[in-house]
Structure 1
Amino acid sequence: MLKIWGRMSSINVKKVVWTAQELGLDFQRTEAGGQFGVVKTPEYMQLNPNSLVPMIEDEGFVLWESNVIVRYLCARHSAGEMYPTDLHERFDAERWMDWQQTTLNPASRPGFVQLIRTPPEQRDAALVADSNAAVEALMATLDAHLAQRYFMIGERFTMADIPLACEVHRWFGLPQPRQSRPHIERWYDSIRARQASKGVLDLALS
């Protein structure tokens, strides 16, 4: 059975749990990180020296880094479908997964931390404004991309949709105004309708 370590309040754990559900895998999730601890124990650090979540163990194979885990699970269980085998499709998916992790997430995280995890009296309005402006520009890019295709890399759902949808879920959940993005909204509604997203994209931010 696939083992997953991580708390569901983590955007990166959400990606992995959703992927496992999408693939119909049996898995056991252990709460870890944040208030649950575990990640600083010697046993955990021996498997993941970064002391972060998520982490998986799959038949003795240990893996960490959320987007890598998503790729691995899709390659193992859904090659040619969720994990594209055509090189152009695969690396188009890879590109957008990396963009989520290296561009969109760093832009959105400061606003998320301030608005969700920082007491109101301690919030830095300038940080929120800067984060919001950066994310709006990136959402315009994503909206233009989705204007030309139903899912992230074309007409079928793939591994690329999972990290981006988790990021959009967090963006839509922030208590602040945002510009309307009709193509993102259409795509996100179709994603949320997927049974495997239940328990992931219907969670409140924390």
Structure 2
Amino acid sequence: MLTILGRASSINVRKVLWLCDELSLPYQREDWGQGFKSTHEARFLALNPNAMIPVIKDEDFVLWESNTIIRYLANAYQGEWLYPTAPRARAQVDRWIDWQATELNTAWRYAFMALVRQSPAHQNERLLAAACKGWTYTMGILNQQLEKTGRYIAGDRFSLADIPVGLSVNRWYETPLEHANYPAVRAYYERLTGREGYVKWGRNGIP
């Protein structure tokens, strides 16, 4: 039985949970992180010295780093339909998974902490304005890509990349800031609601 360590409210944990639903992969989950068991406990640090969630235990195999986890699970549990083996097709998927982790995550971090988490350390008006502008610009890149593909981030079929990207799109629309008019992103957001895993883990059950 696969074990997932991490609270379900974490966007990175929800990547793994959504993928498990797509793969019909059974698992058990343990609550770790903010509000639950501390990731600084010795038994957790023995699994991940970074004290970050999620961590998975697949029998005697332990793995951390969410995007690495979803790649591993797709490889290990017949997820070729999500994560193709052909080098060029896989590279297209990998590119957008990595872009989400580097460019998109970086773009939304300050604004999310300020506007959703209400973090006292993230209330500088100048930095918040710059963060919102940067996030909007990065979402514009996403809109351009979706205009090209017409459906999903890496092409006309749903892929592994749509899990981290789709969750980030959910974060964009659920954060109270002025949203630019990006028709392709909005259509993508609505398209994803046809997937049970996204309704459960992406839009937090909001139809």
Calculate the TM-score normalised by the size of structure 2. Answer: 0.93
Q: CA deviation at 1:152?
A: 1.4
Match of 2:162 in 1: 161
Question: Is 1:116 the equivalent of 2:116?
Answer: yes
Aligned partner of residue 57 in structure 2, secondary structure: strand
Pairs within 5 Å for 1:49-198: 49-118=49-118, 123-149=123-149, 150-198=151-199
Q: CA deviation at 1:5?
A: 0.7
Q: CA deviation at 1:119?
A: 5.9
AA aligned to 1:21 is: D
- By relative contact order (CA 8 Å, sep 6+), the higher-ranking structure is 1
Number of equivalent positions: 204
Aligned partner of residue 90 in structure 2, secondary structure: helix
The answer to whether the Cα contact below 8 Å between 1:79 and 1:85 also exists between their aligned partners in 2 is no
Gapped regions of structure 2 (runs ≥ 5) = none
AA aligned to 2:7 is: R
The answer to whether the Cα contact below 8 Å between 2:4 and 2:28 also exists between their aligned partners in 1 is yes
Relative to structure 1, is the Cα distance of residues 102 and 119 closer, same or farther in structure 2, using a 3 angstrom cutoff? closer
AA aligned to 1:39 is: T
1:36-87, Cα deviation, whole Å (9 max, x unpaired): 1331111111111111000001121110000011111111123431111111
- Looking at structure 2, the residues matched to 80 and 42 of structure 1 have their Cα atoms a distance apart, in angstroms, of 36
- Looking at structure 2, the residues matched to 49 and 38 of structure 1 have their Cα atoms a distance apart, in angstroms, of 13
- Looking at structure 2, the residues matched to 125 and 199 of structure 1 have their Cα atoms a distance apart, in angstroms, of 34
Match of 1:27 in 2: 27
Relative to structure 1, is the Cα distance of residues 119 and 63 closer, same or farther in structure 2, using a 3 angstrom cutoff? closer
The answer to whether the Cα contact below 8 Å between 2:40 and 2:51 also exists between their aligned partners in 1 is yes
Question: Is 1:5 the equivalent of 2:5?
Answer: yes
Aligned partner of residue 160 in structure 2, secondary structure: coil
Relative to structure 1, is the Cα distance of residues 9 and 34 closer, same or farther in structure 2, using a 3 angstrom cutoff? same
The answer to whether the Cα contact below 8 Å between 1:4 and 1:28 also exists between their aligned partners in 2 is yes
- Looking at structure 1, the residues matched to 60 and 16 of structure 2 have their Cα atoms a distance apart, in angstroms, of 17
The answer to whether the Cα contact below 8 Å between 2:23 and 2:79 also exists between their aligned partners in 1 is no
The answer to whether the Cα contact below 8 Å between 2:114 and 2:123 also exists between their aligned partners in 1 is yes
The answer to whether the Cα contact below 8 Å between 1:18 and 1:197 also exists between their aligned partners in 2 is yes
Gapped regions of structure 1 (runs ≥ 5) = none
AA aligned to 1:174 is: T
- Looking at structure 2, the residues matched to 124 and 5 of structure 1 have their Cα atoms a distance apart, in angstroms, of 34
Aligned partner of residue 204 in structure 2, secondary structure: coil
